[in-house]
Amino acid sequence: MTDRYAVIGNPIAHSKSPRIHAAFARQSAQDLDYRAILAPLDGFAAAVAQFVASGGRGMNVTVPFKLEAFALADRHTARAEAAGAVNTLKFEQGEILGDNTDGAGLVADLLRNIGCPLAGNRLLLLGAGGAARGVILPLLDQSPASLTVANRTASRAAQLRDAFAGHGNLAALAFAELAGQQFDVVINATSASLAGAAPAIPPGLYAPGSTAYDMMYGRGLTPFLAAAQAQGAGRLADGLGMLVEQAAESFLLWRGVRPDTRPVLAELAGELHRA
């Protein structure tokens, strides 16, 4: 029988995950079916239960259900525990395992696809929401020289610093307090680009040859990447690679095989940059 997987969210029609996982399945000759499920905003747990009852083996979870997925899981991986959010569910022997592959996806994209080293570098993470929280531990695991979290609402950055105390060298600042500092890698984990804006960070933060990375992706430069280019960032990258890499980490958890992400990423990138 074909194994069943799905991505669940609201909205979900835009999701590229079914295409990504279909490509992974073809590439690794795995027999599986992966589709998108739109759950009502008040119906996440019921939709998961229905999928499990119909023989579902695993799910990706996207906006706005990552916290509910964390609460629903019976067990968590260490990285999901640290993130406090779950983007991958695995159903096995009547139990729900919750994982979070977003951080591993970001790190894999930076290191393998972009060729941006993290060890020994000064990292700046903008934002203090779910996406920022999920990538802090995987970034600290890369032994950067420093990791600074800055957020529009500074108190939320401070909460993250306190939550990760003991895991590494993590500083928390308000945007204005960044003035005068320089960073080798600046990662935008705010949702400002969704509203067509760039976070209001001071100029002069980009060290020579630095990388600007936006977790958002789309056609052309996001507002954050356009601003980074104007401020002298040496290299620009959007979050399409993170999307494909986090999917590959989920596939590995479910199927025990890590797909080759390069052809899948090249195809999606080609489409985005057409038209």
Which residues are part of the catalytic machinery?
A: 66
Of 67-75, 89-97, 129-137, 142-150: span binding ligand NDP (CB under 6 A): 129-137
Q: Which is nearer to ligand NDP, 100 or 210 (CB)?
A: 100
Among 243, 264, 265, 268, binds ligand NDP (CB under 6 A): 243
How far apart are alpha carbons 160 and 269 in whole angstroms? 33
Contact 219, 194 (CB under 8 A): no
- When the beta carbons of 17 and 210 are compared against ligand NDP, the nearer one is 17
Interface pick for ligand NDP out of 58, 98, 103, 239 (rule CB under 6 A): 239
x/- string (CB under 6 A) for ligand NDP, residues 88-127? --------------x------------------------x
264/258 Cα distance (integer angstroms): 13
Q: Contact 88/60 with Cβ under 8 angstroms?
A: yes
End-to-end CA distance of the chain: 40
Residue choice 83, 149, 242, 248 for contact with ligand NDP (CB under 6 A): 242
CA–CA separation, 150 and 125 (whole Å):
6
Q: How far is CA 272 from the centre of its chain?
A: 19
**Any contact of residue 211 with ligand NDP (CB under 6 A)?**
no
The stretch near ligand NDP (CB under 6 A) out of 7-15, 27-35, 111-119, 238-246 is 238-246
What is the CA 131 to chain-centroid distance, rounded? Answer: 6
Residue choice 128, 136, 172, 212 for contact with ligand NDP (CB under 6 A): 128
**45 or 67, CB closer to ligand NDP?**
67
Q: Rule CB under 6 A: is residue 9 a binding residue for ligand NDP?
A: no
Taken in order 51, 6, 93, 134, is the CA torsion positive or negative?
negative
Site for ligand NDP in 24-53 (CB under 6 A): none
Which of 15, 88, 151, 261 is the binder for ligand NDP (CB under 6 A)? 151
Among 194, 209, 219, 262, binds ligand NDP (CB under 6 A): 194
In whole angstroms, how far apart are CA 31 and each of 17, 24, 187, 248, 265? 17, 11, 36, 16, 21
Angle at 6 between CA 8 and CA 80, to 5 degrees: 65
- Among residues 3 and 68, whose Cβ is nearest to ligand NDP? 68
Helix ranges (DSSP H) in the chain: 17-27, 44-53, 66-72, 78-83, 102-108, 130-140, 154-163, 223-230, 240-255, 262-273
> Which residues bind to ligand NDP, rule: CB under 6 A?
102, 127-132, 151-153, 156, 189-192, 194-195, 197, 199, 215-216, 239, 242-243, 246
